[in-house]
Amino acid sequence: MALSKRQRAKAFRLAQYALLVVVAAVLAVVADWGEIKRSFFNLDIAAEMFPNVITVALKNTLVYTALGFAFGLALGLVLALMKLSPVAPYRWLATIYIEFFRGVPALLVFIALSFGVPLAFGLQFDIYSTVMLALGIVGAAYMAETIRAGIQAVPKGQIEAARSLGMSSGRATITIVIPQAFRIILPPLTNELILLTKDSSLIYIIGLARDQYELTKFGRETLSRSPSLTPILVVGLCYLIITLPLGHLSRYLERRTGGKKISTPESTGLGVSG
């Protein structure tokens, strides 16, 4: 007897569940649980990482990310306004910057700021300035496109209404358009914050004192003295402490904004900056 369309769909779902059960059962049988425990779940090594993994590495990761995000957001706003400017050279400069730093790996920016700028210009940045500039310069290229898309998503009637009340174009942009644009782009900006959190691991290229270690550097140093991969697992869990709440926040904000979609680097699959 031929199955109906609904019955076929139900049978297909049951087959997928059965496949997952079979794969999980096979993995459970063939896995060497003793070796997995020794390699990833050595509680003695994990205990030795505390409290420094929290009070030093996690704290520094948050500080580096916040500095880079703040600088990148300010620079991204300037670039977005330049790209929307009626003055052609501003648009060209913004486009060149955005295309260049979206195409260059963040690691190269870290290297340039850490080694190239001191050699070429005699400028020596401290660790916090280097991280803020490197993450901010790269992040700004992505955030500029997100902010531009948000500004363009604000209905033109808002500007026309503000102008009809006697506001100048600049004042209407600052007081009417930009606040609404930021409400629209909060979800993709949260995603950009997650990307910058992971990009902060590139700081390993710079020589650091122990009290300046972020999570990845701290994990690498601990791993070099450990017979187990437990430090990597602990560091990974610490990253999840940061990124999972941000992911939930992004989805919450997206629901609050009505799930309005705008064209951003994230939505076009170009949001990976590292």
pLDDT digits (tens, 9 = 90+) for 201-222: 888 888 788 888 889 889 888 8
98 versus 32: which is more confidently predicted?
A: 98
CA–centroid distance for 41 within its chain: 28
Question: Among candidates 156, 141, 162, which has minimal Cα distance to 75?
Answer: 141
What integer pLDDT is reported at residue 164 of this predicted model?
79
Whether 221 and 201 have beta carbons less than 8 Å apart is answered as no
Tell me, rounded to whole angstroms, the distance of Cα 112 from its chain centroid. Answer: 21
Q: What fold characterizes domain 38-256?
A: MetI-like fold (1.10.3720)
Is residue 90 very low, low, confident or very high in pLDDT (cuts 50, 70, 90)? very high
* Residue 188 CA from chain centroid, whole number: 9
Q: How far apart (Å, rounded) are the C-alpha atoms in residues 265 and 243?
A: 19
Specify the pLDDT at position 59. 93
Contacts of 104 by beta carbon, 8 Å cutoff, 6+ apart = 138
Residue 240 and residue 249 in contact, taking contact as beta carbons nearer than 8 Å: no
How far apart (Å, rounded) are the C-alpha atoms in residues 48 and 45?
A: 5
Q: How far apart are the first and last CA of the chain?
A: 55
| pLDDT averaged over every residue in the chain | 85
All residues at 6 or more sequence positions from 228 whose CB lies less than 8 Å from its CB, including other chains: 38, 39, 40, 42, 45
Confidence band of 73 (pLDDT split at 50, 70, 90)? very high
Q: Is 19 helix (H, G, I), strand (E, B) or coil?
A: helix
Provide the pLDDT for residue 263.
52
Percentage of residues in the chain with pLDDT exceeding 90? 32
- With bands split at pLDDT 50, 70 and 90, how would you rate the model's confidence at 229? confident
Residue 146: pLDDT over 70: yes
- Statement: residue 35 has pLDDT above 70: yes
Q: For residue 120, what are the contacts with CB-CB under 8 A and spacing of at least 6?
A: none
Q: Residue 76 pLDDT more than 90?
A: yes
**Residues 128/262, Cβ–Cβ less than 8 Å:** no
What tens digit of pLDDT does each residue of 234-271 get? 999 999 999 899 888 888 877 776 655 555 554 444 44
Q: Burial letters for 70-87: b for 16+ Cβ neighbours within 10 Å, e otherwise? A: ebbbebbbebbbbbbeee
- Can you give the residue ranges of every domain in the chain? 38-256
Q: Taking the alpha carbons of 192, 195, 196, 197 in that order, is the dihedral positive or negative?
A: positive
Instruction: Using alpha carbons, select from 152, 116, 126, 22 the residue that is nearest to residue 64.
Output: 126
